[in-house]
Amino acid sequence: MHPKSALIRQLAFAMSDLGQDTEALAMLDGHIANPPHEETEALFTAAGQATAVFQKAKAAILADAGKMAEAAACVAEALKAAPGDEEATSMETAIKEALAEEKKE
């Protein structure tokens, strides 16, 4: 059994790989606004995890496009939805480092 959020995240990444960033981000926004029912997540993850998954996917797509400030905002939202999420925390550190590098240039 796979939670829907994980499948949607993979779809967003596949769309991004095909150059459809705008469409992938719009799809993720729709799921953030109206998260799908997560039967498997109710058993294994904390509330807000689906939203965090979608925000982290948005952050990754935006970071790949060089939109670090927007990516940082998405990671912050992911951490609001799922405080202490290890992946989001790691992403936050990497994005902050990238933003610091941008300021140096």
- Read off the pTM: 0.83
Q: Tell me the three-class secondary structure of 28-44, residue by residue.
A: HHHHHHCCCCCHHHHHH
Task: Render the burial of 30-60: b for 16+ CB within 10 Å, e for the rest.
Answer: ebbeebeebeebeeebeebbbbbbbbbbbbb
CATH number at residue 20: 1.25.40
Per the structure, the count of domains in the chain is: 1
CB 36 within 8 A of CB 6: no
Give tens-digit pLDDT for 9-61. 999 999 999 999 999 999 999 999 988 776 554 444 555 788 999 999 999 99
**88 is in which domain, residue-wise?**
4-104
3-state secondary structure at position 93? helix
